Amino acid sequence: MSALRTRDQLEAMERLTLAPYAQFSCQTRGRRHPEPPPEWRTHFQRDRDRVVHSRAFRRLEGKTQVFLNGTGDHLRTRLTHTMEVAAIARNIARALRLNEDLAETIALAHDLGHPPFGHKGETVLNRLMREHGGFEHNRQSLRIVEELEQKYPQFPGLNLTWEVREGLVCHSPEKADDKNAAEFSRGWGSLEAQVANLADEIAYYSHDLDDGLESGLLQEKALMREVELFALAARQVKRAHGQLPDECRRFFIIRCVIDLQVRDVVTTSAACIAAARLQTADDARACRHPLIRYSPARHRQNRELRRYLYRNLYYNPVVHQPNRRAVKMLAELFRYYLQHPQEIGEQSRKRAAVDGWPRAICDYLSGMTDRYALLDYEHRLQGRPTSARPQD
């Protein structure tokens, strides 16, 4: 027997180990541009590698999660958030006997379209693009993998499988409003897509809570009084471990917050899947409601946590004011490039012939890291010299 593990063998292992309603690699609907299949990877494993090796993925390291990039060495960036989402997605998918590679790949790609300066950057770009189709980071993620990445001589984008692209569309609240999303339904997508979507929420609020505590903007005593999920996790930690040093206690409480949510999603989703009597992956797509979900009690607790974070972290002046100043710079750069369009990158200039200058400029700005956008602003609008080259 050959020592090599081939794609056929990997696909056979999927058929033996995954649930019948999982999305099997061998049943992919394929790629827009035909390619020979991979030899030693499944189709979704190939997609994962393409995402990880993309420029857009590397740039996530320099983009804001909550705190402006560079604020603190231990605070999360968009890249570390993405990796945490992928880890949670794999764990949930594994427990439910779904396709881990597909769930992970969707998770790794879900934030590729995020602009600099987090959701505030997204808000300002959407306002500036109001007359030109708007801007939404999930739709931009799809645009990146379909068109903007330029790595292959045979086709634009990364030429990912239909199932991964479907997962990006299903992640968006505006599922069918983009020309690139026209081939996908308005449904909830595969179970793997639903897993990635909920893993994002678990990672987002749990780790923003962690960063808020790390920064000193959130306090444990207030959280114990006002956030039921945090109090539940804190009591669990104290019962199991007694008094712990402050840093260890805080980290372990966050670990328990995540564990409580993951356990709830797994058990609740397993019951929903069983009740739906699914036979195939397409059966899940046909359901009127998502099957990967929290229990009602955990959903209520997560809404409470979300409201608390908005009141006490996201709109805290320490976070809010630097981000407001940063997005003001982004708006000024947008107007500058509308007046000086030949100064954007070469690939962006080429796209302007097809998509128009506003969209090409929006693509250009949304691809920037926080640091590059600030340097570009200082160079273009304040006349400071810089060694940074135009990027695409």
- What are the sequence ranges of the domains in the chain? 7-34+41-382
* Environment class of 106 (CB within 10 Å of its CB; exposed 0-12, middle 13-18, buried 19+): buried
Give me the CATH topology for the region 7-34+41-382.
Hypothetical protein af1432 (1.10.3210)
Asked if residues 93 and 269 have their Cβ atoms less than 8 Å apart, the reply is: no
Q: How would you write the pLDDT of the chain (392 residues) with one tens digit per residue?
A: 567 899 999 999 999 999 999 999 999 999 999 999 999 999 999 999 999 999 999 999 999 887 666 565 667 889 999 999 999 999 999 999 999 999 999 999 999 999 999 888 999 999 999 999 999 999 999 999 999 999 899 999 999 999 999 999 986 655 445 555 567 766 789 999 999 999 999 999 999 999 899 889 999 999 999 999 999 999 999 999 999 998 899 999 999 999 999 999 999 999 999 999 999 999 999 999 999 999 999 999 999 999 999 999 988 888 878 777 888 999 999 999 999 999 998 888 999 999 999 999 999 999 999 999 999 999 998 877 666 565 66
Residues with Cβ within 8 Å of residue 96, at least 6 apart in sequence:
19, 191, 195, 266, 269, 270, 273, 292
